[in-house]
Structure 1
């Protein structure tokens, strides 16, 4: 390293017969630049651990809160590892919006996560990350903002990833896995550019400005994340990719420094193996969704039985027609709603009467009902009983059938 017009200037050095030689085009003091790869690896490892062990956020109020959607009660449990212990890798929360079920995965700490849902509803929608600091965490976020997105959802530090489900296909599970390749790539790029920028190269700024650089660097992250080779081999390949990406943003006279980094790849990979194992050792989180009840669509049907018919509408209204024999009957408007075990149906007003009518129905008459298997032929039926009676007793009340479930003899002839 020398000086030219008051600025640091790097010139190539050749080695031979125990002698280092540098050729200058002007008179200037000369200091030899030496890369200490053990310190470089320590810096990378420290950056990675900072990303792994940053302060955790406070648990949100919505954590493990139930929501009711279309008659179904749902609750997202805390994130656990494969052994069933709480790890709170992300904060999962459920909410309902415009008739849809939304599962929010909120980042907890400094890690980035690859995420997926069950059922699979795509990559989800990520809230906007905001960080441009020249730190490993800053690169972490910039890689996501400007680079390609992965086929799985990616949850970045300080963001929320939202999956949307229909009530007919509610969430059952979500999984997250530390994006270890992106984490290591971010730490490496930060350390390399920090060293290069000592010369005034502004490599960090160039990485952001020159098109394609982020996609190139994410290719290195993909190599680390998806290859089935051992870490040392993966690292060597990814490190070469990173240096190739940075060569496009490093001023020509400084490009030879990248060759110095390349020469230390083997040493650095060995020194980083422990840090890599720490990243990938406990990196899998599982979110399970508890569900109870049935959606209203299971009940909002036309129901029939012997000398009776009932319409339950999706908006909670309906009508009930019941005859005693062929000549006497009544039709009533009704309301209905779901319960933890089924539905309740209440009569509102008499809308028509045939013959002598029935005489024992009145506004407010109510039945408690549940979908069950019919005693005689194991078909799904809606079992009606008076309030206070036992729905588990097949001899109580009466049964309704719907075309959706097939007709049962228990609904009558």
Structure 2
């Protein structure tokens, strides 16, 4: 960046008179312009520029596809969607039960299901579970079908269900 500073001298009228004569010296006006160019420079940095690092989002957990689907049982059902959401329905008889929204992910060789919120309570509900609770489980083969055992409770595919593995 260049700055130009201009200084001007004020015209000065000089009168000179000769002593004892009628003649006066000639008067004249003078203008003086002084120009000085100043170049500004940026000061040198006093410290190094801060280091920035790009952060990566946490890796997305892999959802084991063999768990996706509907897993019924007598008075209960586990529904697991491919996007990591689902629902869990648990009843004590036909008149008391709770339906939950859940999220789920792979966990070791099994799954972890987190109870998010109650979406429906029938009668006295099923007080077994609470929001934020994590239920872990695994898949196994029984009587030619597939069974998800989640916190000690079984949920069956159609084949295992027909074999009576998951109740009446």
TM-score w.r.t. the length of structure 2 is 0.59
Q: Distance in 2 between matches of 1:306 and 1:341?
A: 26
- The aligned counterpart of 2:146 is 380
1:412 is matched with 167
Change beyond 3 A, Cα 1:69–1:324: closer
User: RMSD in angstroms over aligned alpha carbons?
Assistant: 2.1
**3-state SS of the aligned residue for 1:411?**
coil
**Is 1:357 matched with 2:125?**
yes
Q: Which runs of 4+ in 1 moved over 2 A?
A: 67-71, 405-408
Larger Rg: 2
Q: Give the helix-richer structure, 1 or 2.
A: 1
SS in 2 for 1:326: coil
TM-score, normalization: structure 1?
A: 0.25
Task: Give the alignment partner of residue 100 of structure 2, picking from 332, 355, 362.
Answer: 332
Deviation at 1:411, TM superposition (A): 0.9
Q: Which one of the candidate residues 76, 80, 89 is aligned to 1:321?
A: 89
2:9 is matched with which residue? none
- Tell me the distance in 2 between the aligned counterparts of 1:306 and 1:366: 22
- The alpha-carbon deviation at position 372 of structure 1 amounts to 0.7
* Structure 1 pair 68–366 and aligned structure 2 pair: CA distance change class (3 A): closer
Aligned 1:89-100 pairs, distance under 5 A:
none
1:304 lines up with 2:38 in the alignment: no
Distance in structure 1 (CA, Å) of the matches to 2:74 and 2:167: 5
In the alignment, structure 1 segments of 5+ residues that lack a partner are 1-66, 72-295, 386-396
- State the partner residue of 1:402: 157
Q: Displacement, 1:359?
A: 2.1
- Give the Cα separation in 1 of the matches to 2:60 and 2:118: 32
> Which secondary structure does the structure 2 equivalent of 1:314 belong to?
coil
The separation in 1 between residues aligned to 2:146 and 2:127, in whole angstroms, is 31
Equivalent residues in 2 for 1:187-198 (5 A)? none
Aligned partners of 1:360 and 1:341: how far apart in 2? Answer: 25
Structure 2 unaligned blocks of 5 or more: 1-58
1:69 Cα deviation (Å)? 8.0
Q: Give deviations 1:277-322, integer Å, cap 9, x for gaps.
A: xxxxxxxxxxxxxxxxxxx221110110010112101010011111
- Distance in 1, matches of 2:105 and 2:91, equals 24
CA distance in 1, matches of 2:61, 2:112: 17
CA distance in 2, matches of 1:318, 1:336: 8
Partners of 2:160 and 2:144 in 1: CA distance: 10
Matches within 5 A, 1:13-28: none
Cα distance in structure 1, aligned partners of 2:160 and 2:60:
28
Q: In the comparison of the two structures, how many residue pairs are matched? A: 109
CA deviation map 1:199-219 (0-9, x unaligned): xxxxxxxxxxxxxxxxxxxxx
Deviation for aligned residue 1:373: 2.1
Matches within 5 A, 1:45-64: none
Matches within 5 A, 1:202-241: none
